[in-house]
Structure 1
Amino acid sequence: MSPGIIVLVSALALGVTLSVLKSRFDGRFRGTRAVRRPTGEKDAVEESVTAAERVLAADFGGELGERATLLQFSSAFCAPCRATRRTLLEVESMVEGVRHVELDAESHLELVRRLGIMRTPTVLVLDATGAIVTRASGQPRKADVIAALGAAIDAGSSADR
């Protein structure tokens, strides 16, 4: 076999492998560090969340949702951002007390850096206090968003007890 064919086959195999990995992990919610302590004590909860793990309404000039917030970081020419917006707005209309907030990553660079946002779209699921429960980079599926919201709402309700 000639070296050219070996390079071509290797490049093709690498491309297929990377494509499969991207489709497997793109848009999937991944866990963050434990936001809530199982004791349910209010003081322990407040101390267990650092500034980098909490987003306040003042950080983006809006309001948090009553039960949870879907915080989406987008950019102007991002096609998956538009599809993600539609999905999150649909979920917002389905679940009471949930708010969708979309931010332009370029206009909120300090927040992007603080939260470690590396690409758009990135969706953060926040509980009622603004603590980050989970995040997804890429376009999430509606079922995954609803499941992540369930975890955020459960975390918020266990803190109220």
Structure 2
Amino acid sequence: MSQGAWVLVVALVAATAFGLYRAARDGRFRGTHHVKGADVTEAEGQEPVSVLADSDLDHVLGERATLLQFSSAFCAPCRVTRRVLTDVAATVPGVEHVEVDAEHHLELVRRLGVLRTPTTLILDAAGREVSRAAGAPSRDVVLTTLARVIA
């Protein structure tokens, strides 16, 4: 087998492995991201700080939770995510869906560590990040994660 054929085989194996890895992680809610300035705790006698504090979106928090979606203009998975999150917000009382154009809110994107669109953050009633997903989450995954936040 020639050297070019080996390079092709290695490239195909690497691309397939990366694709499988990406498919397994896309749209799954995993952990949170440390937000600078949002680590004030109630034990210190102060109100918890919302991740949306000091932004023009601070007023749109839901009573029980907020589904915060970062998207961009030409992102096809963002449209799917918008439909899923809008449906979930209409189904679950006290939950709001807020879509943020990442291009127009770069300071917030940087502060929250959003690396790609769509990224969905689930915020509790105080506006603290509870979980996040990169990629388009399914309705069932959103409802399951949201149930843990609300309970």
Common fold, TM-score beyond 0.5? yes
The runs of at least 4 aligned residues of structure 1 exceeding 2 Å deviation read 42-49, 53-59
Query: 1:140 is matched with which residue?
Result: 137
The one of 63, 66, 71 aligned to 1:69: 66
| TM-aligned CA deviation for residue 152 of structure 1 | 1.9
Matches of 2:6 and 2:95 in 1, distance apart? 53
Query: 1:43 is matched with which residue?
Result: 42
Matches of 1:33 and 1:44 in 2, distance apart? 21
Contact 1:55 1:132 (8 Å CA) reproduced:
no
After superposition, the C-alpha distances for 1:67-97 in whole angstroms (9 at most, x for unaligned) are 1000000000000000000000111111011
Matched letter for residue 44 of structure 1:
A
Aligned length: 145
| TM-aligned CA deviation for residue 33 of structure 1 | 7.0
Contact 1:122 1:136 (8 Å CA) reproduced:
yes
Contact 1:57 1:64 (8 Å CA) reproduced:
no
| TM-aligned CA deviation for residue 147 of structure 1 | 1.4
Q: 1:80 to 1:45 in 2, by over 3 A?
A: farther
1:113-152 aligned within 5 A: 113-152=110-149
Contact 1:57 1:63 (8 Å CA) reproduced:
no
TM-score by structure 1 length?
0.82
Contact 2:67 2:95 (8 Å CA) reproduced:
yes
Name the SS of the counterpart of 2:132 in structure 1: strand
Query: 1:30 is matched with which residue?
Result: 30
CA-based RMSD = 2.3
Contact 1:120 1:138 (8 Å CA) reproduced:
yes
Matched letter for residue 87 of structure 1:
V
After superposition, the C-alpha distances for 1:9-43 in whole angstroms (9 at most, x for unaligned) are 11110111010000000111001279xxxxxxx83
Q: 1:71 to 1:46 in 2, by over 3 A?
A: farther
Seq. identity, %: 52
Structure 1 or 2: more helix by fraction: 1
After superposition, the C-alpha distances for 1:100-154 in whole angstroms (9 at most, x for unaligned) are 0001001111110100000000000000110100000110111111112112213
| TM-aligned CA deviation for residue 59 of structure 1 | 4.0
TM-score by structure 2 length?
0.87
